[in-house]
Structure formats: structure tokens, C-alpha cells
Amino acid sequence: MQRERLVPLDGSVNFRDLGGWRSGDGRRLRYGRLFRSDALHRLSGADLVRLRDELGVRTQIDLRASQEVESEGRGPLAGPPVAYHHLPFFDGVRSAGERPAGSLAELYFAMLRYARRPIASALETLAASDGACVFHCAAGKDRTGVLAAVVLGALGVADEDIVEDYAYTRRVLPRILERLRASESYQHVFTELPPDTLHAEPATMETLLGLARREWGSLREYALWAGASEAALAGLAARLYED
């Protein structure tokens, strides 16, 4: 029986455990080792106790652009004993009215190509980290969802589980959108991005996995193409899989 994945916090609504998923050969990912989340800049004092002291988080990977970090802040988790790593997927200045072409799945596929270096760096960082790790963006859905898919896929987790992990965000999406609407930094999400950006449908991840497989053969092969080492992938598996 799987545990509840969502970790209730005051300042984050999509912080959840990536433990419990199984590989094709039956191995199970440990609970409490790797988490994915929405933005962490609003964490309360009680949240910090939960994450640092109870869950033992020691590595934070922030996938947001520098402009987002400057506007919203790193947040209180980003300090000793937690190592903060800023690995933005996109770090240019956004042009007003700029609207990506294509579907959300195609945007994710473009992320795999464009953000290959930060993705590889994230994999290397996760493999080398001590204690629990969390990676996040703003909503914990798009950039975070792509990295989660790569991590799980590189570890041999089944496609249907990767899809289920992605679609889990639908449970908290109304609260995520409420928070984004309240921030001037994210108004473009509602005016300039494809309409399906506001959703987390299983078909989106299914399409991405199909595109990735057609291009690279597997997400493990993608991770190696992106620049992650065999040693890092082996280390990640050793850290995350139960004995």
C-alpha cells in the first residue's frame, strides 16, 4: 500500500514524495529521499521544522528563472544546513506578448532539448547529495514535471506511473492557480501561454514520453545524451531504490 504523497505545508500546496514508484524489475523507490514541489518562498516556521528537521531535506534545486527568484525570493529553506542549487531551465528575459507555439507536450519536449544542461546538472546533483532532496519551480507542474519524468524514466519507472505522478497535480491545481494569479510575476501564465498550460492532463505526459522515446529511445538514453554520467545514474539508483 502506497503512502499519501502530498506533504501538507502552510507555504506550499504541491510538495510531494516521489517514493513508492516501482521499476520494471520490481524495485521500489524509497520514501522520504526525493521530493518535488511548487515554489518554496512562502514557507512558514513550522514548514521549515517539517522539512529540515523531520524530513531531513538537505538539497534544494530551484528550476525557476533568475527573474523569478529575484522577484519572489529564494525562500527560507535556502540556507544551512540545506544546500541551494539554482538550475534554471530558461534564464532569458521574457518578451511581453511572447507566446510559445504548439501544445503543452511540445513545449515540454522543447524543454528536454533547450534545458538539457540544467537537467543533467540536476541529475548529477541529486546523485551526489546527502539527505533528502527537493526540486521545484513555480507551480511544481511544468519544469518540475519534466525533471520528475526524466528522473523516474532514467530509473526505469513505468510510463503509466510517470503519467500518474504528473497528473497528481490536478488535485491541487486550483490552489496553485490561485497563488499564481495573486503574483504579478506570473500574470503571463494566464495571458500568453497555451491554454493547456493551466491543466495537468495525463495525455500531455503520455505524448511527451512518446516524443522522447521516438527521439532518444528511452529517458535513460536521453539523460545520457543531455550530459549526465553513467556513474551519476547508478548513484541515483543506489540512493533512491530500497535494498
Average pLDDT over residues 151-167: 96
pLDDT digits (tens, 9 = 90+) for 55-113: 999 999 999 999 999 988 999 999 999 999 999 999 865 544 454 557 899 999 999 99
Q: Which CATH superfamily is domain 16-91+101-240 in?
A: Protein tyrosine phosphatase superfamily (3.90.190.10)
pLDDT digits (tens, 9 = 90+) for 208-220: 999 999 999 999 9
Average pLDDT over residues 222-233: 98
pLDDT digits (tens, 9 = 90+) for 120-146: 999 999 999 999 999 999 999 999 999
Q: Which of 82, 96, 10, 73 is nearest to 53 (CA)?
A: 82
Contacts by 189-193, CB closer than 8 A, 24 or more apart: 192/97, 192/98, 192/99, 193/99, 193/100
pTM: 0.92
CA distances from residue 205 to 15, 63, 104 in whole angstroms, order as listed = 19, 19, 9
Q: What is the pLDDT of residue 96?
A: 47
pLDDT digits (tens, 9 = 90+) for 11-70: 999 999 999 999 988 899 999 999 999 999 999 999 999 999 999 999 999 999 999 999
The pLDDT-based confidence of 185 (bands split at 50, 70, 90) is low
Map out the domains of the chain as residue ranges.
16-91+101-240
Strand 83-86's sheet: what is its strand order? 16-17, 34-37, 132-136, 57-62, 83-86
